[in-house]
Amino acid sequence: MSAGTDHKGTNPFPMNNLRYVDAIPGIEAFYPLFMTTGWNERLGLTRDALATALAGSFYGVCAYDGDTLVAAGRLLSDGAYQCFLCDLIVHPDHQGRGIGKELVRRLLGHAKSHGIRWMQLTSARGKRGFYEKLGFTARSEEAPGMDIWL
């Protein structure tokens, strides 16, 4: 678990003024949030590349504590029947207080209201239980999700 809290713990960081915004985050705020995950050690994305990735989103959601971006998530989609949930990130100081759950609830609601029938994702290590609580199921051995790194 990252610093801040475990997923069942009491978060020691006060939450002053939390608000949710249905929008793709700006790169200046998102880049430091993205860097909290350690994912860029493998990806090696520049700020410009990550801005391009954000611009290619179908939909995005953010949570702000005052003016500080503390969480975000986004969807990629064909706009017709399927979408992919990615870059769901809650800052370690703000994990364990329902923010991730609310972001996924909003992403599911948006997808459903646009006729999307199928949301896929790749669970990060140790996060399977989080997604299962939100209704996601792991695919069967006979029909697994598959990927390849290029």
Ligand X SMILES: CC(C)(COP(=O)(O)OP(=O)(O)OC[C@H]1O[C@@H](n2cnc3c(N)ncnc32)[C@H](O)[C@@H]1OP(=O)(O)O)[C@@H](O)C(=O)NCCC(=O)NCCS
- Give contact residues for ligand X (rule: CB under 6 A): 7-8, 37, 88-90, 95-101, 123-124, 126-127, 129-130, 133
The least distance separating ligand X from the CB of residue 141, rounded to whole angstroms, comes to 21
Residue (77 or 95) nearer to ligand X, CB: 95
Distances (CA, A) of 39 to 45, 49, 66, 68, 87: 9, 14, 26, 21, 10
Burial 17-52 (b: 16+ CB within 10 A, else e): ebeeeeebbebebbbebbebbeeeeeeebeeeebbe
Minimum CB separation from ligand X for residue 92, in Å?
7
Measured CA to CA, the distance from residue 39 to residue 29 in angstroms comes to: 17
Kind of pairing, strands 18-21 and 59-65? antiparallel
Q: Which residue has the tokens 């801040």?
A: 4
Would you say 91 or 110 has its CB closer to ligand X? 91
Give yes or no for a contact between 82 and 1, defined as CB atoms under 8 angstroms apart: no
| Closest residue by beta carbon to ligand X | 100
Residue 129 C-beta: closest distance to ligand X, Å: 3
The smaller minimum CB distance to ligand X, of residues 80 and 132, is found at 132
Q: How far is the CB of 27 from ligand X (least distance, A)?
A: 18
Nearer to ligand X, 88 or 116 (CB): 88
